[in-house]
Structure 1
């Protein structure tokens, strides 16, 4: 690992520790720099904003989760595949509820940043079945609306979110 990669990892480790202890909003980039034992400018040389730190951390964890879900996926329909992935994803987002809410709030209007990941995921949903690209769009919309509802409810659980998703997916006629 290069010195630059080590510094980036120090910043990520320090930020997550502070986010967990103090909360996202209560943690400043100055706090992160101090905890990572780097200069304030060093944080910004690796990440443009505090939300960039959050996004980077989520992306790396999500890649691992999606990989695990892919390896255990035996579904044959787009809706079953979405449900399978949601089992992994809803658990992840609920375990990091405060951070998930903040991240979605920040990126909701920046869909162009998410477009490559969404496009790849939609393709994965309809691969090897009869579903269409429009079907994938509908399924993703249902998934995200259920996720947003779950993240906004104080008493939500993975099981309740999955039950809601399953009920919604059963109402559409997509294979």
Structure 2
């Protein structure tokens, strides 16, 4: 099974993957937007535990998939078109895709490219979870306000949005719980 991460360039996809796996440097992190230029598959094994007893029920192999960022990237239009084509093709044809995490920077209202991507995912029936990254960079009150702004911008009142901080690992256990549920 595949759990996919997508978002604008520099939203923190690679940092989130490193935080989630606790493997520093697994996904290459850069301050330069557009560093990820291929679809990267990271094969992992999850320990599955009984929710009540906490006893291990077994293990399950799966992939975390890091996609190139959409929107701004220091590359030409032609290359961005090629990226879009192979990303769209992958999202529409992968039989193992379980769900997709769309990362949006919690500090800002979603950009047009974020809203377009979300609408495209919904239109094509790709199961999506919104992960609001960089949550450590704003206060608790601002988080609630900004999560509400993301909901409004996406036009879906009841959507779950998971605030996440790769620096402090906030939201990590919640995201791992969602992944475990999908794998069981």
TM-score scaled to structure 1, two decimals? 0.29
Query: Which has the larger share of strand?
Result: 2
More relative contact order, 1 or 2 (CA 8 Å, 6+ apart): 2
TM-score scaled to structure 2, two decimals? 0.28
Larger Cα Rg: Structure 1 or Structure 2?
Answer: 1
Query: Which has the larger share of helix?
Result: 1
